[in-house]
Chains A and B, each alone.
Chain A
Amino acid sequence: MSMPGMYVSPEQVMQDRADYARKGIARGRSLVALEYSDGVALVAENASATLRKVSEIYDRIAFGGVGRYNEFDQLRIAGVRHAELKGFQYSRENVDARSLANQYAQMLGQIFTHEMKPLEVEIVVAEIGHGDTGSELYRIQYDGTVVDEQNFSCIGGDAESVLERLREGFDSGLDRDGAIRLAVGALAGADRELVADELEVAVLEAAIGRRCFQRLDDSAVGAILS
């Protein structure tokens, strides 16, 4: 059945979907991923101790998501499955963040253009480097745009001002604790202070064996911040 007078231009459709997704993401609190001398730290403002924004994907790969929880958690699970199946079929060394980021981009792009509702999420995929290759950070947006980030990345509602503060404080020689303090300071801003139980912190660090992902509990985070 044709509906005269109901024409909406493709530009308008895309614009509306992007606005819708951005509005959903802007409501949530932010997440920072940044490289330091021996690894990558992921720090999120998260009041819940059980509903995670930061997770392990594979031996050297971590995931961070903001926005609508059920949607980014579905992406996280798809990522774990993709990585595990690839490692099973080929070898554990063949699982990398770049290919995973591309898969996420394909999926988000497909949903953005073909489904009624875009996913209201933004995600980062981080991989700790091997030997002389550096760490990798990819930010993937609700529409499938992938950005290969240098040194640090921020996703979520207040990303622009958090990035501004990260740029001011970042130094390539940061150690783990210094990186976490910088990330927490950047998330909090000048007017407020964040304490351990409002934060979710994890690192990718090569020293801890095959599985590089490690969560830091509230007491460890408290000790770093004090």
Chain B
Amino acid sequence: MAMPFFVPGDDPGTDFVELLRRTGHEPFGTELPGTIDAGHATTVLAVRCEGGVVVAGDRRATSGHLISHRDMQKVFPADRHSAVAIAGAAGPAVQMVRIFQLQLEYYEKIEGKPLSLEGKANQLSEMLRGNLPMAMQGMAVVPIFAGYDTGRETGRLYQFDVTGGRYEEQEYATSGSGSLHAGTVIKLGYRNGMTSDEALALAVRALWHAADEDSATGGPDPLRGIFPILSVITEDGFHQLSDEESGDVFAGLSDELSGGGSGS
């Protein structure tokens, strides 16, 4: 592999996707005949809290009516201070996350400092636009992007659509087939200035109700020790809870439900 060297004026700069194209890699699928209905069976969500944001997602992957994976990862750290959660066709979504992570790190190294949070959201928007031909054929990706804005010192979150539309939300964002149920639960339970623990408790309640109503969203699986992925992003960076810690948050929900809550 030769060293990529460009003359000034013809240099791809900080754009990793352009660098891939210039060196013979096509990062996104191009238009092909026919369609595949890949659905968007998932629930992922982000909730803003005091000093940061909570990002969570279930672990189930389905193909039609079959469960194809029980421990799928749908929440990924994008860099030190942000995360991306995906709903949609798994193959293109995972590839998009990988390129997004590389783009953020590449920019940081070339420029010597990281992109702003809004710059990162715009980058993801560009990648979604690049995936539009695939989305038109049923291979859509609908992510959520959330992070801690080190400049403004607050958590921020963004919702997207398949065309790359980027919408900043103030309180929460949800995506996937269970998003309607999860969104309603968060909407009813949300308060300004929640601590991260309160936001985590609200996130697991939302995920539990989504799994309860939507066959394509997986719930907690204590027999196997598989729990939805829970993460918190603060000034200190991205932190994903261990399975034990997630189990404890779900145990709190279990106490609440068995005490005559709204779960029945």
Q: Smallest Cβ distance from A72 to chain B, in angstroms?
A: 14
Number of interface residues, chain B, beta carbon within 8 A:
16
Q: Which residue of chain B has its CB nearest to the CB of A211?
A: B105
Q: Does B66 contact A (CB under 8 A)?
A: no
Given the complex, which residues of B lie within 8 Å of A165, measured CB to CB?
none
Within 8 A of A (CB), among B90-116: 102, 105-106, 109-110, 112
B4 within 8 Å of A (CB atoms): yes
Q: Is the CB of A80 within 8 A of B106?
A: yes
With A78-B3, A84-B102 as contacts: A55 and B19 at CB distance below 8 Å: no
**CB contacts between A and B, total, < 8 Å:** 46
Q: How far is the CA of A107 from the CA of B5 in the complex (A)?
A: 9
Q: Is the CB of B109 within 8 A of A56?
A: yes
A103 contact from B3, B16, B102, B106, Cβ within 8 A: B3
Is there contact, CB below 8 Å, between A88 and B3?
no
Taking CB atoms, residues of chain A closer than 8 Å to B23 are 85
Given contacts A81-B19, A89-B25, contact A57 B3 (CB under 8 A): no
Interface of A is mostly: helix
Among candidates B2, B106, B112, residue contacting A84 with C-beta atoms closer than 8 Å: B106
Taking CB as reference atom, which chain A residue is nearest B79? A211
Residues of chain B contacted by A52 (CB below 8 angstroms): 112
Contact with A along B4-27 (1 / 0, CB 8 A): 110000000000100110010100
Q: Residues on B close to A: CB < 8 A? A: 1-5, 16, 19-20, 23, 25, 102, 105-106, 109-110, 112
| A binding-site residues for B, Cβ under 8 Å | 50, 52, 55-57, 74, 77-82, 84-89, 103-104, 106-107, 211
Q: A77-B110, A86-B1 are in contact. List 20 more A-B contacts (CB 8 A).
A: A50-B112, A55-B109, A55-B112, A56-B109, A78-B5, A80-B106, A81-B3, A81-B19, A82-B1, A82-B4, A84-B19, A84-B106, A85-B4, A85-B25, A88-B20, A88-B102, A89-B1, A103-B3, A104-B3, A106-B3
